[in-house]
Amino acid sequence: MDSGEFFSALKDRFPDIVEMKDGMATFKMYVAGNWIGNSSKPVKDPDNNSVLCNVSIADLELVDKALDSAREKKETMKSLSGDEKIAILEKAADLLKASRELFVTALVKNVGKPIKEAEGEVDATIERIRRVKSDSQRIQGDFIPGEWAKPNRGRIAIVLREPVGVVLAIAPFNMPLFISYTKVIPALLAGNTVILRPPSLVPIAPIMMGKILEEAGLPAGALNIIPTATDVASYLATRDEVDMITFTGSTEVGLKLTKISGIKRIHLELGGKAAALVMKDCGDIKSAAQNIVAGSTKFSGQRCDAISRVLVHSTHEERLTREIVTLVRKLKTGDPFSRETDIGPLIDSRAVDRVDGLVKDAVEKGARILVGGKSNGNYFKPTVLSNVPLSAKIMWEETFGPVIPIHSFSDEEEAVDIINSSEYGLDNAIFTDDIRTAWRLGKKLESGEISINCFPSHGIGFFPFGGVKKSGLGREGISYSIDEFTNLKTVVYNIG
C-alpha cells in the first residue's frame, strides 16, 4: 500500500495515536495514559529520503510528567498478579497479530526493511510476547536453610525477586519494534513501569505497539512512550526517579550513559564486530559461504550481530572467496515492498557515507573490490573485499552495511589474536568439521556468543545474548531478561 493508504488505514485502526495536519500524518506520544501531540519533527522514508510523516517530540515538561506517571504507577504494577499480567500480554499478542499488515507496512516504509524481514520482525515480536509464561517461571525465590553455616543456625532465608521500579528503555533503529518490546514486555511482566524512548529515526511501530498494550488492558501510566531529542534523553538518564536503564545502540552512547546515569541498574547491548573464522578443517566451504553472506547482508548488514569480517585459512581463501562472490552477485537490491528484494536501503545518507568511507579506506590500504563498492541514494550495493589488511579500519570498526571484508591467516593463534584484539565481544562464528576445534576455539574467543557452523542470529531470544568488553553489560533473552529487571530481596527469619 502507498503512504496515503497506509495512513488512512492507520487512522481507522488507531485514531488516537495519529492526526492529520495539512495532509501530513503526525504521531502523538503516550504520557500518563493519554495520547498527546506536541511540536514535531519529520520522519523520513529511507527508500527515497522523502518525508513520510511527523512525530511529536517531548519537551522537559512532558518528560517530567511521564516520570511522575511511571513513579506513581509503581505500586499498581507491583500489585498486579502474575496471571493478570500474563493475560494482558497474551491479549496484546493477539491484537498485534490482528494488525500484522499495518505493522509490517510501518517497518517497510519507516525502516526500509525488505518486506520478508519486516514480516519476520513482527512475527518474532508476537512470538516473543507469547513466551512470557517462560519468563514468569524465572520470577521465583529461593529457600536457604541456615543450618549449613554455624552463625546462621536457627535462621532461614527466603530470597525474593522484586521489580526494580521505573525502567528507562532506549531502543535502536534496526529492529525498532522487536527490540523496544523485548525490553518493555519482560520489564512489565516483572512488575516495573516503563518509559520507552523509541528510536528517533523510526518511531512509528513502537508507538503503534503502545496503543496495542493500552487496548490489551495495561494500566494507564505504566507505560509511557516519549520520542525525545538526544539532550532530553540524557536528562532522563540522570534522574533519580529512573531506577534502571536498558539501552541497545552504539558503544559511544552506552559509555556516555554509564558516566551520567549515577547509581542505578544499567543494561547495555552495544556494538559488535563479529568474525567468521573458517578453519583449515572446514569441509563444507559452500555452506560456510552461504552462512557468511546471509550473516553479513541480512538487513543490509545493519545489525550488531552481523558478520563484518571474515578470517579464512589460506588453504580455503580462493574457493571461499569465489563462493561468496557468486552468492553476492545473486542478491537483489531494490524496492523493499518486493518479495524478490534481498537488500534494502541503509537508514540514511550518513550511514551510506560511513560505509563508503570504510570501503575506500580499505582500498587505499591495499584491498580489492571484487563486487559492489558503489551506492545509489541510500542503497549501498553488497560488497566483497579481498586481501584486506589489518590496518584497514573496516577490520576493526562496526560496519553496519552489506560489506564482506576477507583476510587470510595460516596460524590458528594468529586468527584468535586478531579476533580478541577487537574492543568488541558480542558474537563470533566458527566454521569447522572438528568438534574439538570448535570447543577449543569457542573457549578462546572473547565474546558473549559463539556460533558453530552458522551465522549469529538471536531470533526471538530463546538463547541468552549479550556481550563482553565494549559490547555491553548483562543479558537479554527469554527468562534471562527477567534477571535484569528484578532485584533480589533476602528475608531472614529467626526460628530458633
**Which three-class secondary structure state does DSSP give residue 317?**
helix
Contact 234, 57 (CB under 8 A): no
Helix or strand run (H / E) with residue 327: helix 317-330
Contact 226, 195 (CB under 8 A): yes
Dihedral (C-alpha) 295, 472, 483, 298: value to the nearest 10 degrees?
Answer: -20
Contact 409, 311 (CB under 8 A): yes
Which amino acid type is present at position 469?
A: K
**Which three-class secondary structure state does DSSP give residue 404?**
strand
Residues 183 and 89: their CA atoms lie apart, in Å, by 13
Residues 331 and 276: their CA atoms lie apart, in Å, by 20
Contact 409, 415 (CB under 8 A): yes
Q: CB under 8 Å to 440, separation ≥6 — which residues?
A: none
**Which three-class secondary structure state does DSSP give residue 34?**
strand
Burial status of residue 403 (CB atoms within 10 A of its CB: 0-12, 13-18, 19 or more)? buried
Contacts 24+ apart (CB under 8 A), 39-42: 41/200
Residue 370: which of 333, 331, 324 has the closest Cα? 324
Residues 243 and 240: their CA atoms lie apart, in Å, by 7
Q: From residue 109, give the alpha-carbon distance in Å to each of 49, 99, 187, 342.
A: 11, 16, 29, 16
The grid coordinates of residue 156 equal 532461614
Active site residues: 269, 304
